[in-house]
Structure 1
Amino acid sequence: MIRPMRVAATGTAAVSLALALTACGQTVATQTPAAGGDGGEGIGLLLPESTSSTRYDTFDKPLIEKTVAGLCSKCTVSYANAGGDANAQKKQFDDLVAKGVKVILLDPVDAKLTAPWVDAANAKGVKVVAYDRLAQGKVAAYVSFDNQRTGQLQGQSLLDALGPKASSANVVMIDGAESDPNAAQFKTGAHLALDGKVKIAYEQSGEWKPEVATAKTNEAIQSLGKNGIQAVYAANDGMAAAVIDALKAAGIKNVPVGGQDASIDAIRRVLTGEQAYTIYKPYKPETDAAGTIAVQLAEGMDISTTATSSTDSGGLHIPSLLLTPIVVTKSRVEATVVAGGLYKASDICTQQYEEACAEAGVK
């Protein structure tokens, strides 16, 4: 059970977090020292994959590094991406503990496996912060978005795209990986919005892998027929792209498909009408919070001013910060991802998309 205090996902979050640390006596630095074992406060950053979502290396990593460098002149960040391999991530985690870092920001490939890692790190005085996905074990803090709310927004957006056709619609659901606790919360939220309003005609995990989403979509088409699918819920944009391609290959048109992550290719699909919506979870407020909490823990400080809510996990009450996601439809691209600074209009509106951008008022 999650008891969140929702925080507006705006640029003011960064200022508030920075002031919280400055008030505690932190100095602001312009760059992070290169050395890691010479008295610096070591922080590890472990991100899960780079195949189905490009966000981790493009946004999360550099933004967290910038936040840490700006708040702590002696802190260093050691980074690794697991490439979707839980065994590789376990080795990366162990290497960080052996290196002597004080804090590990962990976005787990498979959250069900992490309790022994976290407990072993705690025994050696290393604090673990669950980032974006709730890792099992006695983590020191959890930073993410309100995942059930994300799923509800996905489901409601699919209903909005269907309009009056919803009451007779067969909906296919391609969920995230069963190893990811976020995926379960997205699924729960989506069902809260969809159940009783549409028929869930087919539902399977796409495992966060586009190739699996393709296979599952083809299976749904074979089972339900070309006229038996009126909408598709895809848990993220990478899988939504695969679903859209599979529907096109089968000659199926005018079927709303939604995703999540606000990847630039998804934004372009939303503008052209190929994708009904995506979910924008502004990276900077999340990375600011994660970097701030990591520094606070590394410095032995109180995190209660940053982690303002609590998440129940196996009987543990984890200090948490849960942010609110934002729906992006064609009419809201300018007011969300462009106004929020995720992308410039010029990044989105290449020659191929100039007309779609003009129609949507993206400039």
Structure 2
Amino acid sequence: MALSLAVPLAACGGGNDDAGAGPESIGLLLPENKASRYETFDRRVISSRISTLCLECKLDYRNAGSQVDIQKRQFDALVKKGVKVIILDPVDSEAAGRWVDAAAKKGVKVVAYDRLVEGDIAAYVSYDNEKIGQLQGQGILDALGSQAAAADVVMLNGSATDPNAPSFKKGAHAVLDGKVHKIIYERSIPEWSSDEAKKQLAKVIKDHGPTGVDAVYSANDGMAGGAAEALASAGLKNVPLGGQDAELPALQRLVSGTQSFTIYKQVRPEAETAAEIAFRLLRGKSIKSLAPTTVDNKSKSGIPAKLFDAQIVTKQNMKETVIRDGAVPASWICTKDFEAACKSLGLLD
């Protein structure tokens, strides 16, 4: 991935110009920029793959900054310009369904990316999100070890507008319920906000006392960063904390011991598959080999889909996962502040 990210974006025209779109344009709408993965990985891998598949294709990219109304305007602008295929990762899946249906009537095909969109979508590319939640729950149990049965756990769930969040929550509960003493606090965090996660956990620690929180489930790494700050501010160490996305700051927290695990979802295969499906739809080709299964949303059944598997990453297996795959080079993780810890883990051999 480190090599693929070096490919220039210019070949795919990632700018925001309002010139008319030709038949070779593909739209890409990503939901937010608080999680570093979207700008750092998803956008660039999709851009690189499309430029490889189609030198004359233009990628028309926008980021909604977590604002539904902004994403609607971006979506409508692409349709108005004549873009016939749009890769959409929605801010709000329910709201986006209305736009998708209106666009489908005009012949626009929408590939739901990472989050399932409502409406008449043409394909869906993501991970098995309930299984991810199960992995997160197992990560908490593994980090607690023999203390699990007596543990009081805080759950910081994903944004209520994200259709993946309920699946993460369901999967985590399936593993944690009956295996830990109690879920003492649980809340969905709006917009996956790190600041709000920090605020909520600080309140829980204040209400329950410094010994009242035994582990923290965080649905993603951004919120885990806020949770880690709340734990540090309260003087709490060695409290199991998990996240998701294998973001660079989270991997550094793994090295330093302030986060127990993250979930590694290989962006490259997900992003490249979405790009190739979009290209095939643009050219009127079959996507069956790329989308071997199906999923249903509330209004459509049998949607062609590709669902990938994820894995738990800890400091013990970091070298054999994200570093080996080139997703995040050891040199990025092992900056000066983390060099000694990296050496003790064998990450700089």
Q: What is the TM-score normalised by the length of structure 2?
A: 0.93
- Asked whether 1:359 is paired with 2:348, we answer no
Which position in structure 2 is the counterpart of 1:160? 142
Of 342-351 and 293-302, the range deviating more from structure 2:
342-351
* 1:86 partner letter: V
Aligned-pair distance for 1:31? 4.0
Which position in structure 1 is the counterpart of 2:198? 214
Aligned-pair distance for 1:219? 2.4
Written as runs of structure 1 = structure 2, the 5 A alignment for 1:321-360 is 321-360=306-345
Of 275-284 and 209-218, the range deviating more from structure 2:
209-218
What SS is found at the alignment partner of 1:90?
helix
Deviation by residue 1:70-119 (Cα, 9 ceiling, x = unmatched): 11233211000000101000000000000100101000001111111000
* 2:219 partner letter: A
* 1:194 partner letter: L
- Asked whether 1:92 is paired with 2:80, we answer no
Written as runs of structure 1 = structure 2, the 5 A alignment for 1:3-152 is 31-32=11-12, 37=20, 39-51=22-34, 53-152=35-134
Distance, in Å, in 2 between the alignment partners of 1:77 and 1:40 is: 12
Written as runs of structure 1 = structure 2, the 5 A alignment for 1:172-251 is 172-198=154-180, 199-207=182-190, 208-251=192-235
Aligned-pair distance for 1:38? 7.0
Kept in 1: contact 2:13–2:59 (CA 8 A):
no
What SS is found at the alignment partner of 1:128?
strand
Which position in structure 2 is the counterpart of 1:21? none
Distance, in Å, in 2 between the alignment partners of 1:125 and 1:330 is: 48
Aligned-pair distance for 1:224? 2.0
Of 99-108 and 66-75, the range deviating more from structure 2:
66-75
> Which of 262, 268, 286 is residue 278 of structure 1 equivalent to?
262
In structure 2, the gaps of 5 or more residues are: 5-9
Count residues in correspondence: 336
Kept in 2: contact 1:31–1:70 (CA 8 A):
no
Kept in 2: contact 1:138–1:316 (CA 8 A):
no
Kept in 2: contact 1:262–1:281 (CA 8 A):
yes
What SS is found at the alignment partner of 1:316?
coil
Distance, in Å, in 2 between the alignment partners of 1:38 and 1:45 is: 13
Kept in 2: contact 1:54–1:263 (CA 8 A):
yes
More relative contact order, 1 or 2 (CA 8 Å, 6+ apart): 1
Distance, in Å, in 2 between the alignment partners of 1:157 and 1:147 is: 15
Deviation by residue 1:318-346 (Cα, 9 ceiling, x = unmatched): 11000011111011111111101112111
Which position in structure 1 is the counterpart of 2:281? 297
Kept in 1: contact 2:154–2:186 (CA 8 A):
yes
* 1:350 partner letter: T
Which position in structure 2 is the counterpart of 1:254? 238
Deviation by residue 1:122-167 (Cα, 9 ceiling, x = unmatched): 0111001100000111110000011111110010011000000000
In structure 1, the gaps of 5 or more residues are: 1-9, 15-29
Q: Runs ≥4 in structure 1, deviation > 6 angstroms?
A: 33-36
Which position in structure 2 is the counterpart of 1:318? 303
Aligned-pair distance for 1:33? 6.9
Aligned-pair distance for 1:121? 0.5
Kept in 2: contact 1:158–1:231 (CA 8 A):
yes
* 2:45 partner letter: L
Kept in 2: contact 1:307–1:321 (CA 8 A):
yes
What SS is found at the alignment partner of 1:355?
helix
